[in-house]
Amino acid sequence: MRQVRAQGGRAAWPVALGLAGILCQVGFVFLIARLLATILGFPGGGFGELAAAGALALLGAALSMTQEMAQQAAGERARASIRAALFTRLMELGPADPRGVGEKATLLVDRVEALDGFFARWVPAAALAILGPAAVILIVAQFDGTSALVLAVMGLLVPVAMALTGIGAAVESRKQLDVLGRLSGRFVDRLRGLSTLVQFNRAEDEARALGAAADEFRQRTLRVLRVAFLSSAALELLAGFTLGYLAWRHGMLLAPQVTDPTPALFCILAVPVFFLPLRNFSQAYHEAMSARGAAAELAPLLEAPAATGLLLEEVPPRVALVFDKVELTYPGMDRPALPRLTFALAPGETLMLVGPSGAGKSSVLRLLMGFAAPSAGRIAINGEDVTRLKPAELRRLSAYVGQRAHLFGGTIRENIRLARPDATDAEVQRAAESARVMAFAAHLPQGLDTEVGEGGFGLSGGQAQRVALARAFLRDSPLVLLDEPTASLDPGTEAEVMEAIARLCTGRTAIIATHSPQLMGLSGRVIELAGQRRVEQHVG
């Protein structure tokens, strides 16, 4: 919320414009009151006043237009800076963050958009709700002190009524946001697995369950609104009462001794002008409530300290690696994902990690990628403790291919170039050939420039994996980390790719996690991570 508040100072300009607009309206209704008095037979205005009122109306229109645009701009700037900070934070947290993709996307897109109402409308509306009515009271006081007093009292009652109804609404609103988050997560989850639901003929059941969840959401939302709408009803009651009282006062009590009805009419006509900023405030209040909910979700992320650590001056050409009694236990798990591992790798050496799934092969690679920090023990690269480096800096040392390669929206060429943005087309082409991407890309309509969708739809798992390998080739880093690089390849392609991997590993320090022990013509060390504690070493 602090981050959110810091953006609030940008509202000064919209507020000034809004106040000028309110003064225009006051002038407009004053002229109307005079003209009305004239119609009722009292000496006063004429067509001159009518023209002046028209001019004021035009001026007011120009002011309100400018105000809207200024508010929009303030909201834009605030959202852009918060979104960028949030994204940076999520990237720093990396895979260690337990939130799902859907949830993160909701935070980045919808929650930040929900803040718009806060900056664009709530902040100026809140300021104008004080300044506007105050200005009206001061002007009305020049004509009739009692009327001004009534307006002042009613104006003060508005925040009281809103606070009374708003406190209940705040509690409910938090609950409602929780449900919304779960509902959205559920939708995303089910839509991603649509084909699985269809296979088991459960799409219809799921549709019904979604309907029930939406129903729950509706009931909760209505519970919030029942209270929230009370505040607008209270506002109507106060406005109606003010109008009724002033009408009675000026129409009945003061009427007999009046010589000029202009002040009386002005007092009545000023009531809608008085309540308009309060109405806007009340509308924006609900936006602020939902923004507050969103801000509460964003605050822990935005306020967390940024990742620290040393920067890497340059990528060393060769890497020696030491694991000393390294252990990794994920939070909430009672057994370690990687139990005490010790080994040392000389520069240029290749290490193959074999063993059943769950033995901790991937964990070794994740530690070296800075996706997780060791819970015990020490990892050293060229003699330096890696935990002292900023994780992003640690990653500059390595080329990494995970188990599930992701293809980003864009062409195959762009996907390969991700690993090294300054690479030339020729270098990308060479990498694509080395990873046997060309074997299938050559048959695609646009070759390497074929668009591949999010999640790599259109390419098979094996093809996606080869694109990821091409990235590793292009990256040209001293450390190569491969997690089951050939898991989804067929034997023919596998042999070809293995030969390419052998070339990739030459002269580089490499760690390859694999199931297939016959890995494959590669020379190097083999460590078998078996079961819980046993670590055997072979030379392959």
Partner 1 sequence: MWADLNRVLKLWGTRRKALAWGLVIGMLSALSGVALLALAGKGVAAGAGGIGLVGVSALIWLRPVVLIRPLLRWWERMASHAAAFQALADTRVWFFRRLAERMPAGIGLRGSGDLLGRVISDVEALDRLYLGGLMPAAAALAVVAAIALLLGAEPVLMLLLVLPLGLALILPLVLAPAAARAAQRAADERGGLRAAAVDPVTGLEDTLAANAEGRALARLQRADATLMAAQREVSVRSAAAGTAGTLLTQVAVLAALGWGLLTGSAGAAMAVLALFLAIAAAEALGLMPRAGALMAGAAASARRLFEAADTKPPVEEPANPAPLPTGNDLVLSHVTFGWRADAAPVLEGLDLTLKAGERVAILGPSGAGKSSLAALLLKFAAPQSGVIRLGGTDIQDLASAELRQRIVCLSQNARLFDVSIAENLRLAAPGAPDAALWRALAKAGVAEFVRSLPEGLETRCGEGGTRFSGGEARRIALARALLPPAAILILDEPTVGLDAEAERAFMATLATATEGRSLLIITHELTGAEPLDRVLRLAGGNLLPATG
Q: 3-state DSSP helix/strand/coil percent for the chain, to nearest 5?
A: 65, 10, 25
Contacts (CB under 8 A) with partner 1, residues 212-231: 214-215, 217-218, 221-222, 225-226, 229-230
Per CB under 8 A, does 498 bind partner 1?
no
HSE of 221, CA atoms in CB hemisphere, 13 A: 12
Q: Which is nearer to partner 1, 383 or 518 (CB)?
A: 518
Q: Which is nearer to partner 1, 204 or 346 (CB)?
A: 204
Query: How deeply is 522 buried, as exposed, middle or buried, from its count of CB atoms within 10 A (0-12, 13-18, 19+)?
Result: middle
Residue for token pair 């920067």: 311
Strand pairing category for 451-452 and 410-411: antiparallel
Residue for token pair 């002008």: 273
Which structure tokens are listed for 58? 């035009």
Per CB under 8 A, does 339 bind partner 1?
no
Ramachandran quadrant class, 357 (left: phi over 0; alpha: psi -120 to 50; beta: rest): beta
According to the 3-state scheme, what is the secondary structure of 242-281?
HHHHHHHHHHHHCHHHCCCCHHHHHHHHHHHHHHHHHHHH
Q: Which is nearer to partner 1, 251 or 325 (CB)?
A: 251
Q: Which is nearer to partner 1, 365 or 379 (CB)?
A: 365
Q: How far is the CB of 217 from partner 1 (least distance, A)?
A: 8
Q: How far is the CB of 385 from partner 1 (least distance, A)?
A: 20
Contacts of 283 (CB under 8 A, 6+ apart): 121, 125
Per CB under 8 A, does 317 bind partner 1?
no
Per CB under 8 A, does 178 bind partner 1?
no
Per CB under 8 A, does 173 bind partner 1?
no
Ramachandran quadrant class, 336 (left: phi over 0; alpha: psi -120 to 50; beta: rest): beta
Q: Which is nearer to partner 1, 182 or 324 (CB)?
A: 182
DSSP-based three-state secondary structure for 91: helix
Residue for token pair 């991603």: 192
Stretch that binds partner 1, among 189-197, 291-299, 338-346, 426-434 (CB under 8 A): 189-197
Q: How far is the CB of 430 from partner 1 (least distance, A)?
A: 18
Contacts (CB under 8 A) with partner 1, residues 34-63: 35-41, 46-47, 50, 53-54, 57-58, 60-61
Which structure tokens are listed for 127? 């300021």
Q: How far is the CB of 176 from partner 1 (least distance, A)?
A: 12
d(CA 151, CA 143): 13
Stretch that binds partner 1, among 5-13, 73-81, 372-380, 503-511 (CB under 8 A): 73-81
Contacts of 138 (CB under 8 A, 6+ apart): 148
Q: How far is the CB of 68 from partner 1 (least distance, A)?
A: 4
Is residue 370 within 8 Å of 395, Cβ to Cβ?
yes
Torsion of CA 230, 234, 240, 241, to 10 degrees: 140
Q: Which is nearer to partner 1, 5 or 515 (CB)?
A: 515
Residue for token pair 């060390």: 525
Contacts (CB under 8 A) with partner 1, residues 404-443: 404-409, 418-419, 421, 440, 443
Per CB under 8 A, does 232 bind partner 1?
yes
Contacts (CB under 8 A) with partner 1, residues 85-104: 87-88, 90-91, 94-95, 100-102, 104
Q: How far is the CB of 480 from partner 1 (least distance, A)?
A: 11
Per CB under 8 A, does 84 bind partner 1?
yes
Per CB under 8 A, does 398 bind partner 1?
yes
Per CB under 8 A, does 312 bind partner 1?
no
Strand pairing category for 451-452 and 535-539: unpaired
Among 145, 492, 507, 531, binds partner 1 (CB under 8 A): 492
Contacts (CB under 8 A) with partner 1, residues 352-381: 355-358, 362, 369-371
Contacts (CB under 8 A) with partner 1, residues 118-137: none
